[in-house]
Each structure stands twice: as C-alpha cells, then as structure tokens.
Amino acid sequence: MQSDAAPAAAAKISGNSRRMYLLATVPFFSDIAETGGLPHAPREWITEIVAGALIVALVRRMLMQQRKIISLARSDALTGLGNRRAFDEALSDECIRARRNAQPLTLVYIDLDHFKRVNDELGHDAGDQVLCQLAAAVRQVVRGHIDRAFRLGGDEFALLLPGSSAAQAHAVVDRIRDCCAGGNGVWRQGVLGISCGSVQLQAGESARDFVRRADQAMFQAKRTT
C-alpha cells in the first residue's frame, strides 16, 4: 500500500534536496572569495572538507524532518492510514493517471455497521481498537505500493484501487471482512459489520462525481443491512 504523503510533495522535496546539497560547496567558494584561490595546505583542505560534510549532514537532517512533517500532515493519527487531505490529493492524482494510461480505477467507500453501539456499550477505547483492527486488515489485504487506503473520519474509510474493476474491489472487501471476523474482541462476537460501495471511474467523470457515486453506493448497501 502506498505511502500517505503526496507524490507531488515528495517529488518537490527530492528536487529541492539536490539543490540544497550544493551548499556543501559554500566553504570552498568562501575561501576563493576571501583569498582569491583554493586552499594550499593539507590542513586547510581538511577544514573545508569537514565544513562541507557538516553542511551535508545538516541538510540531510532537515530534509528528513520535512518528509516526516509532510507524512504526519497526511496521516490519520489513530490508524496510520492516509487522512482526508491525503485522500483528496491521491484521488486527483489517480484519476489523472487512470485516464492517461487507459486503465480502470475503482473507489471503495467503507462504513462500519453498529459502530456506535460499540462506542456506547463498550467505550471509545474499544471503538478505537476496532478501527485499528480494520486498518490492520486493510493493510494485510491490499496490494503494497499500488493500492491506497484512508480513514476519512469516524468509522468511514476509503480505498483507491488502480487497475482494479468494481467486481475485483468487492473481492478485496470480502477478504477484509474475513480478516476482521477472524480477529479478536468485538469482531469475533459478530456485533460489527462492513458496508461498502464500490464504483469504477467512468469516462469523463469528475473526481467529485466519482466520490458522490461511491458515497451513494455505500449508503445503498447500508440500507440493506
């Protein structure tokens, strides 16, 4: 399953990092500006090299912090899946990619049945455990580095499945159900259920309409439970 940091943001950092590493040459250019030439003595060369290495280390540390901040801004704190912001960014990217490559793209909206009952009767800690167990099942089932998974809020989740049809998406959700049912706690008691709406991107369809159809399909499935 792909990371929750937006590819565009990661690419921007990567491009900036190459330019920032040029700062390692600053000590040499400073020496040229001050003395009119490069160092001559071995000790002076060692000083310039050490200064450049320190700059590289500081730049690397700063870039790592940048990536961490971007990842946290696009991650759900409880489950570690992508959050709503990450979903909105990924949805746009995947729709463009699907059209460009003439490949199917399926969006799955997932909502838990009777989740409020768990929170009311067992407490919010039990509810949080349920959400984390569902997230773990999602990670186990979806294809790493291809599919994307998100928690949109509350007990609502979404999957973006590039190259998959709606029928294939239903099979993915069935495997997620099986993983949850085979788990422990509330899932094993059969109290919870999973309603889902799976829709495939249509020609010329906007991302907003794509989401609207998935949302409607999910609510239609929920009415039958």
Query: Structure pTM?
Result: 0.71
Which pLDDT does position 175 carry in this prediction?
95
- Residue closest to 152 by CA, chosen among 4, 2, 1, 6: 4
Burial of 43 (0-12, 13-18, 19+ CB in 10 A): exposed
Say which amino acid occupies 89.
Answer: E
pLDDT band (50, 70, 90) for residue 224: confident
Burial of 138 (0-12, 13-18, 19+ CB in 10 A): buried
d(C-alpha 131, C-alpha 117), whole Å: 14
Q: Which two tokens stand for residue 118?
A: 């768990």
Residues catalogued as catalytic: 155
pLDDT above 50 (res 6): no
Which pLDDT does position 112 carry in this prediction?
95
d(C-alpha 52, C-alpha 146), whole Å: 39
pLDDT band (50, 70, 90) for residue 54: confident
Which pLDDT does position 185 carry in this prediction?
74
d(C-alpha 60, C-alpha 189), whole Å: 49
pLDDT above 90 (res 62): no
Which pLDDT does position 55 carry in this prediction?
67
pLDDT band (50, 70, 90) for residue 144: confident
pLDDT above 80 (res 162): yes
Q: What is the pLDDT of residues 65-74, one digit of tens each?
A: 666 555 556 8
What does the domain layout of the chain look like in residue ranges? 7-73, 84-223
Asked if residues 200 and 166 have their Cβ atoms less than 8 Å apart, the reply is yes
Q: Which two tokens stand for residue 3?
A: 């990371």
Which pLDDT does position 186 carry in this prediction?
82
To the nearest whole percent, how much of the chain has pLDDT over 90? Answer: 54
The residues near 199 (Cβ < 8 Å, ≥ 6 apart) are 106, 107, 166, 210, 213, 214, 217
pLDDT band (50, 70, 90) for residue 190: confident
The answer to whether the Cα torsion of 139, 145, 146, 152 is positive or negative is: positive
pLDDT band (50, 70, 90) for residue 26: low
pLDDT band (50, 70, 90) for residue 44: low
Torsion angle of C-alpha atoms 7, 210, 128, 9, degrees rounded to 10:
10
pLDDT above 60 (res 135): yes
Residue at token pair 């049809």: 165
The CATH classification number of 84-223 equals 3.30.70.270
Burial of 176 (0-12, 13-18, 19+ CB in 10 A): buried
Average pLDDT, the chain: 81
3-class secondary structure, 73: helix
pLDDT above 60 (res 139): yes
Say which amino acid occupies 26.
Answer: V
> In what side-by-side order are the strands of the sheet with 105-113?
148-153, 156-162, 105-113, 193-200
Torsion angle of C-alpha atoms 7, 9, 10, 14, degrees rounded to 10:
130
